[in-house]
């Protein structure tokens, strides 16, 4: 099979490319390096079946050629990370909506299967836990910038599903829930890499708000497994599917867990949302996926434990730090 992965030099894209190349597929990555990096794909360059283009989706001619050459398009290119969204709302909305439109338009001409990544953010402030794909989306007001991300991804979903309904373009929409693992950067605000990095550097682990808000963290290997299985499932076409782990933890407990497993001496500090993001920032209190649909379609449920995830992320950062600075070795305690 021939895969085109947009955002292929990003955290999830680079992880998806690995098993596909390993099993003998051809993989073409398209990435403008806005949040991805060449570092993420350096280890893949030895695969002869890998091709990559450091370019924009807006390069329509290139996109048309790459779509033509592919059997399946995985659209992961997007503006992600709450910090990035709060700081650059115009870029977020334009990147997410225009990018998806260009992909669907190009894929439609050649009737190529598109798997497009959405996000658990679309459920917004809903308290109807666990989140099911057919539940109502509850977004905050347009004056609060955070919700522009959810709205832009919801529009992507509408667009993809409309292409399926009206033009019979095969599409699959996946809603990803807090995907984490090695190579994810904390630069755009993601909590787990930030906590682990701080813990290893013995700098303060900063909890935003009360820390009572919770999330479910999904190992990127589980996420990838879900995506690959869905792309091989004919019944997934035209569907929206949650992909996430159901193990829930409060951010406060996460801070203590990370500190414990890395045997860190970091202090744990609390920062009000207003200071962490912007005045009037609204967070989501709980975000738990229902993965019954994913299981019914593919027979698969993400299940890699949070402890294993934290240990692997810590190991990754440790290797990076050692390469640069040779600091102390952190030991993971068992609990
Ligand atoms: N968060 C935190 N400290 C950080 C980064 C994030 O307490 O250094 C909180 C954030 O406010 C949110 C949760 O951790 O409640 C998850 O944030 P993230 O940006 O990773 O993902 P989200 O689920 O909000 O998209």
Pocket lining: 115 vs ligand 1, CB cutoff 6 Å: no
Mean of per-residue pLDDT scores for the chain:
94
Question: Does 194 score more than 60 pLDDT?
Answer: yes
Q: How sure is the predictor about 324, in pLDDT bands with cuts at 50, 70 and 90?
A: low
Query: 């935003």: which residue's tokens?
Result: 208
Assign 249 to helix, strand or coil.
Answer: strand
Instruction: Please state, in angstroms and rounded to a whole number, the distance separating the CA atoms of residues 322 and 332.
Output: 16
Kindly state the percentage of the chain with pLDDT values over 70.
96
- CA-nearest residue for atom 20, ligand 1, is 190
pLDDT digits (tens, 9 = 90+) for 153-183: 999 999 999 999 999 999 999 999 999 999 9
CA angle 131, 134, 140 (to 5 degrees): 65
pLDDT at 130: 98
Give the pLDDT of residue 189: 86
Share of the chain above pLDDT 90, in %: 86
Query: What is the model's pTM?
Result: 0.95
Q: Is the CB of 215 under 6 A from ligand 1?
A: yes
Residue 200: band (very low, low, confident or very high) from pLDDT cuts 50, 70, 90: very high
Q: Whose CA is nearest to atom 10 of ligand 1?
A: 208
Instruction: Please determine, looking at this structure, whether the domain spanning 2-179+218-245+287-304 carries the CATH number 3.50.50.60.
Output: no
Dig out the tokens for 254 from the structure: 């996460």
Q: Closest residue (by CA) to atom 5 of ligand 1?
A: 191
Report whether pLDDT(332) > 80.
no
More confident residue, 84 or 64: 64
pLDDT in tens, 95-114: 999 999 999 999 999 999 99
- Mean pLDDT computed over 58-81: 95
Choice between 217 and 186, residue whose per-residue pLDDT is larger: 217
Enter the DSSP assignment of 210. Answer: T
pLDDT band of residue 85 (cuts 50, 70, 90) is confident
Ligand 1 atom closest to Cα of residue 190: 20
At 87 the pLDDT is 87
In this predicted model, which residue has the larger pLDDT, 219 or 185? Answer: 219
CA distance 261 to 308: 10
Q: Is the pLDDT of residue 265 over 70?
A: yes
Query: Which residues does residue 299 pair with via DSSP β-bridges, in sequence order?
Result: none
190 Cα–ligand 1 center, Å = 6
Q: Is 258 exposed, middle or buried (0-12, 13-18, 19+ CB in 10 A)?
A: buried
pLDDT exceeds cutoff 80 at 328 = no
123 is catalytic: no
Decide whether any atom of ligand 1 lies within 6 Å of the 56 Cβ.
Answer: no
**Beta bridge pairs of residue 201:** none
């Amino acid at each position: 099979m021939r895969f085109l992965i947009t955002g292929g030099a990003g955290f999830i894209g680079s992880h998806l490319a690995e098993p596909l190349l390993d099993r003998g597929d051809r993989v073409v990555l398209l990435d403008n390096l806005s949040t991805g990096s060449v570092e993420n794909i350096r280890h893949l360059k030895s695969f002869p079946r890998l091709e990559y283009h450091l370019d924009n989706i807006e390069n329509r001619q290139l996109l048309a050629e790459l779509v033509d050459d592919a059997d399946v398009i995985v659209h992961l290119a997007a503006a992600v990370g709450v910090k990035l969204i709060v700081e650059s709302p115009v870029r977020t909305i334009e990147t997410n909506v225009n990018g998806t439109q260009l992909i669907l338009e190009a894929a439609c001409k050649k009737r190529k299967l598109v798997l497009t990544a959405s996000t658990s953010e679309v459920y917004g402030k809903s308290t109807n836990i666990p989140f099911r794909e057919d539940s109502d989306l509850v977004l905050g007001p347009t004056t609060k910038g955070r919700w522009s991300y959810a709205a832009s991804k919801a529009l992507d979903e509408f667009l993809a599903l409309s292409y399926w309904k009206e033009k019979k373009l095969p599409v699959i929409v996946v809603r990803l829930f807090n995907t984490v693992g090695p190579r994810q950067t904390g630069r755009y605000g993601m909590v787990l890499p930030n906590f682990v990095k701080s813990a290893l550097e013995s700098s303060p682990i900063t909890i935003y708000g009360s820390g009572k808000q919770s999330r479910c963290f999904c190992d990127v290997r589980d996420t990838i497994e879900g995506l690959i299985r869905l792309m091989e499932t004919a019944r997934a076409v035209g569907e929206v599917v949650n992909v996430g782990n159901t193990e829930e933890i409060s951010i406060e407990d996460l801070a203590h867990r990370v500190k414990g497993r890395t045997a860190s001496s970091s202090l744990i500090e609390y920062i009000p949302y207003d200071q962490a993001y912007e005045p009037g920032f609204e967070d989501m209190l709980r975000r738990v996926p229902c993965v019954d649909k994913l299981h019914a379609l593919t027979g698969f449920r993400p299940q890699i434990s949070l402890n294993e995830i934290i240990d692997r992320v810590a190991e990754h950062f440790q290797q990076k730090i050692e390469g640069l600075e040779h600091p102390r070795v952190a030991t993971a305690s068992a609990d």
